[in-house]
Structure 1
Amino acid sequence: MMNHKLTGIMAGLLLTAGSLTAQTPADSIMLNDPTRYVTRATLYGVGAANMYDTYLSPQEYRGIEFRLSRESMRMTRWADGNLSRQSFFQGYVNYTHNHVDNNNTLSALLNWNYGLHYHFRLTDHFRLLAGGLADLNGGFVYNLHNGNNPASARAYVNLDASVMAIWDLRIKRYPITLRYQANLPVMGVMFSPHYGQSYYEIFSLGHADGVVRFTSLHNQPSLRQMLTADLPVGRMKMRLAYVWDAQQSSINNLRTHAYSHVFMVGFVKEFYLLPNKKKQTL
């Protein structure tokens, strides 16, 4: 009886070892595949806003802004594995007032960037990235006391040049990742009414000539910058960020700007994507 039990135990151990051995290559391939490694961050922030739109008022409006962002980065197999893909979504709402404090505006904007960056690995701990992004924007500015023209729409699409610097460092034994990113709109299209033209004329009467204009550095000198620091907190990573967002335009005899200085905080999630078993069986 003892021999039969020992034989059964040995057979079970061999089968278990065989199954683990059979799974190990697939698992190791997945874990060593950088294209399955995803970094995702969600941040919340508050800061200062400065709004200016001559369609609504000749005055600047200053106030408070609340911002949310969600970012995802992942390496690709392109360019010998040196090209990463970035998807960055952000939205803000701000409430501002003029300098005499007798009028207010409410503004909101959604922005989505999607593009690629090439990695120049200068050292084991420092990388420079350069690439391009599609930059989509939509929102509004609403003046709370205007009668004839109470609101101004925001709608524009750009192709951005984008650069990044990523530095992995240690303060004693504490690891920190610093990153700086700047996005510069190079060319695009923007919706803008003419000076004194109402939205009723555009959308109801069909007077839409020239309301969609080509943009570049000469009439839309804008820049988005972000500085982040990733700090390990237990098994998670906290991200601290400062965003300086400067959007400007001078189109159809109208001038606008939206300046934001925002401090943000959130958490970073790093994970591996599991292989698609359905694709593997086909």
Structure 2
Amino acid sequence: MKIYRICIIIGCLISLGGKTFAQDVEDIAVQELRTDSATRNRFITRATLYGAGLTNVFDTYLSPQEYTGVDFRISRESIRMTNWMNGRISLQSFFQANLGYTHNKVDNNNAFSGLANWNYGLHYHFPITSNFKLLAGGLADINGGFVYNLRNGNNPAQARAYINLDASGMAIWNLRIKSCPLTLRYQINLPLIGVMFMPNYGQSYYEIFTLGHWNGVINFTSLHNQPSLRQMLTVDFPVGKAKMRLAYVWDAQQAKVNEIKTHTYSHVFMVGFVKEIYLLRNKKKRTR
């Protein structure tokens, strides 16, 4: 019986050792593919996050009061390397949507707000050390949403629609705490120029869409009348065979156009999963 038990223990150790060795070989193979200039552009990192936080909404078209409350948010991000500039350019697609429920200071009225935002652009990589790099680039920034005041009669809602060209920067740091690998990332997006839909002060949507009074509702924006900023801090870490991401988003969107002041300030904490996908190329056989 003792010999039988010893054989079982030795078999288990060999099995565990084989799994560990196989996992190490797999990690080395994946790392080599990531660093190979011919294959690294076929790795896509995708992340889906869900979160909630606090928001502050202000729109003088609807009310002279600020509204504060909760913000529920979802985001979807995709990043991959390209072959451009000797493989130093990455392509980022980032979509997020939020829904806010707020109330005024005297707590006698509520409002709903929502915004969908899509960023799409490129970043150039500047390696500083083997585990730390800086990125700089530009993004197309497309936004659409609404604010709905539950108490207003004539003008209960305000549309949000604007497009910007953003300057964007990142800092990415890969580190280890004991045996746990972590990836820290900080990203900042600053809108530089764009166009925004905004009614004239006191103008109703009936005048715009029914009577056709479009004069002055499409406006040029820049830092002087739309000083906005988006910041995001994330940390990626493994949980078993999966990889999780924790994120903090500070989203400050504000503008003063056509004598109407608007802002939405949000502080949101998010959590989700990260997936790395390797694209396979289908080689077509030539036919003669």
Instruction: Provide the TM-score with structure 2 as the length reference.
Output: 0.86
1:172 aligned residue (178, 187, 190): 178
Gaps of 5+ in 2: 1-31
1:46 to 37, 42, 52: 52
Letter in 2 for 1:80: N
The answer as to 2:161 corresponding to 1:130 is: no
* Structure 1 residue 220 corresponds to structure 2 residue 226: yes
The Cα of 1:236 is off from its aligned counterpart by 1.1
- Work out the CA distance in 1 between the residues paired with 2:57 and 2:221: 20
Residue pair 1:30, 1:275 contacting (<8 A) in 2 also: no
Whether the 8 Å CA contact 1:242–1:264 is kept in 2: the answer is: yes
2:119 is matched with: 113
SS at match of 1:277: coil
d(CA) in 2 for partners of 1:237 and 1:110? 26
Question: Alpha carbons of 1:101 and 1:157: their partners in 2 closer, same or farther (altered >3 Å)?
Answer: same
Q: CA deviation at 1:281?
A: 4.9
Q: Which letter does structure 1 place at the counterpart of 2:214?
A: A
CA deviation digits over 1:188-224, x for unaligned, max 9?
0000001100000011111110100000000000000
Structure 1 Cα separation of the partners of residues 52 and 256 of structure 2: 27
The answer to whether 1:275 aligns with 2:281 is yes
1:270 partner letter: E
What is the alpha-carbon distance in structure 2 between the residues aligned to residue 245 and residue 68 of structure 1?
Answer: 13
Secondary structure, aligned partner of 1:79 = coil
Matched, 1:94 2:93: no
- Give the equivalent residue in structure 2 for 1:260: 266
Q: 1:1-282 residue pairs with structure 2 within 5 A? A: 32=36, 33-278=39-284, 281=286
**C-alpha separation in 1, matches of 2:197 and 2:161:** 6
**In 1: Cα distance, 2:35 partner to 2:84 partner:** 19
Aligned-partner residue type, residue 54 of structure 1: T
**CA 1:121–1:30: 2 relative to 1, 3 Å:** closer
Is residue 33–residue 40 contact of structure 2 (8 Å, CA) maintained in 1? no
Letter of the 2:54 counterpart: A
**Which secondary structure does the structure 1 equivalent of 2:207 belong to?**
helix
Letter matched to residue 258 of structure 2: N
Aligned-pair Cα RMSD in Å: 1.5
Corresponding residue SS for 2:86: helix
Name 1:4's counterpart in structure 2: none
Does the CA contact (< 8 Å) of 2:81 and 2:87 recur in 1?
Answer: yes
Taking the aligned partners of 2:93 and 2:282, their CA distance within structure 1 comes to 22
- Deviation of residue 225 (structure 1)? 0.2
Q: Percent identity?
A: 70
Q: Which runs of 4+ in 1 moved over 6 A?
A: 28-31
In the other structure, the counterpart of 1:13 is none
1:271 to partner: Cα distance: 1.6
1:31 is displaced (CA, Å) by: 9.2
Query: Offset at 1:248?
Result: 0.3
Q: Is contact 1:94–1:106 with CA below 8 Å preserved after alignment? A: yes
Question: Aligned partners of 2:209, 2:187: CA distance in 1, in Å?
Answer: 38
Counterpart amino acid of residue 219 in structure 1: N
Do 1:30 and 1:274's aligned partners in 2 also have CA atoms closer than 8 Å? no
Equivalents in 1 of 2:118, 2:282: separation in Å? 27
CA distance, structure 1, for counterparts of residue 45 and residue 267 of structure 2: 25
